[in-house]
């Protein structure tokens, strides 16, 4: 468990699925934005008339190219950051170790398959609901049903 200032919340067993989906989908959409911006830049450079289209304000300024490059840079930074966060979270789930446990090398996780480790975070049984921000269930039970004393402490 750790506090994430980016989402202003603690990320732990009950909401790790939602955090992983959040950073994964943010990385995916950053990549999509980069593709759209590159296509727009290529179309603008190949067709100068697109660059000089007139609007009610007059000809389009070259400043719009600067805006597109700045947006591309922002999408690249966001994409790199969220991709790194997604890979780190996925690695922690698959190895059943946090980053600190890996650095300290003081925890021997139980031997389980990747699907079993993913099921501990995304719920059982394996389903398409893993891709949606739904409550994590384990054969119909939630964390609150499985560990009733944990939330009373």
Per the annotation, the verdict on 87 as an active-site residue is no
List the catalytic residue out of 4, 10, 87, 126: 4
Roughly what angle, to the nearest 10 degrees, separates helices 16-46 and 63-95? Answer: 150
Helices (H), the chain: 16-46, 48-51, 63-95, 99-104, 114-122, 143-146
Torsion angle of the four alpha carbons 139, 141, 142, 147, in this order, in degrees rounded to the nearest 10: -120
Taking the C-alpha atoms of residue 99 and residue 1, their distance in angstroms, rounded to an integer, is 11
Give catalytic residues, as residue numbers: 4
């Amino acid at each position: 468990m750790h506090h994430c200032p980016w989402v202003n919340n603690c990320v732990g067993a009950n909401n790790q699925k939602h955090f992983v989906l959040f950073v994964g989908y943010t990385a995916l959409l950053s990549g999509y934005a980069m593709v759209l911006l590159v296509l727009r830049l290529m179309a603008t450079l190949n067709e100068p008339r697109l660059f000089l289209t007139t609007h009610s304000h007059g000809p389009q300024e070259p400043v719009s190219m600067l805006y597109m490059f700045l947006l591309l840079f922002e999408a690249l930074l966001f994409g790199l950051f969220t991709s790194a966060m997604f890979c780190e979270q996925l690695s922690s789930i698959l190895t059943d170790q946090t980053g600190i446990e890996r650095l300290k090398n003081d925890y021997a996780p139980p031997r389980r398959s990747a699907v079993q480790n993913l099921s501990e975070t995304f719920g059982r049984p394996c389903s398409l609901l893993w891709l949606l921000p739904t409550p994590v269930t384990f054969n119909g039970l939630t964390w609150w049903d499985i560990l009733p004393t944990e939330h009373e402490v």
